[in-house]
Structure 1
């Protein structure tokens, strides 16, 4: 059963936004290459401090593996203090 994540990444200031800009291309590339990734998009909104996040994975196991990888990644460490507001659903 596919798993979908929708939400936002909300930076507190320009320094956090710069971290996102610096690390996001590699994060997207690595995430899209993961087994079970059907969709992985992170796009900047009209607000320069907010990104819209949309992910879809084939199974809960694939989604969980993605989450585990991200926690240990350069992206995960660099952006750990940036606020996230996500909704995860099994469709």
Structure 2
């Protein structure tokens, strides 16, 4: 009995009417990252503007990437970041790719203020 079990399946199992026991099911947790990328100078902001299109395209193509948005705010030095990955493994793979990427190297000194939920 997996995640697609019906109410009847569960009731039958719980009352002993079923001939099987439920399978062990691994529940995956979506990982969400929300926050800001804060540039100190117009030069850093220009780096973000230059590098961002490729970074977004590569990230959205990653397995497990459900949402990835980096948008400018009213402050030209601040960018809003919203990410959602299907599970912790997909998020870790994304982080590893970013660390080794042109984006990761070009923006390494730019402040990130992120809140991450769901990672294990």
1:84 shift after superposition: 0.4
Runs of at least 5 residues in structure 1 that lack an aligned partner in the other structure: none
Bigger fraction of residues in strand:
1
- Higher gyration radius (CA): 2
> In the alignment, which of 62, 73, 77 is matched to residue 34 of structure 1?
62
Structure 2 residue 92 is matched with structure 1 residue 64:
yes
Misfit runs of 4+, over 4 Å: none
Q: Number of matched residues?
A: 91
Tell me: higher relative CO, structure 1 or 2? Use CA pairs within 8 A at least 6 residues apart: 1
CA distance in 2, matches of 1:35, 1:18: 29
Q: Is residue 89 of structure 1 aligned with residue 117 of structure 2?
A: yes
In the superposition, the TM-score normalised over structure 1's length comes to: 0.98
- Tell me, which stretches of 5 or more residues in structure 2 are unaligned? 1-28
TM-align CA RMSD: 0.9
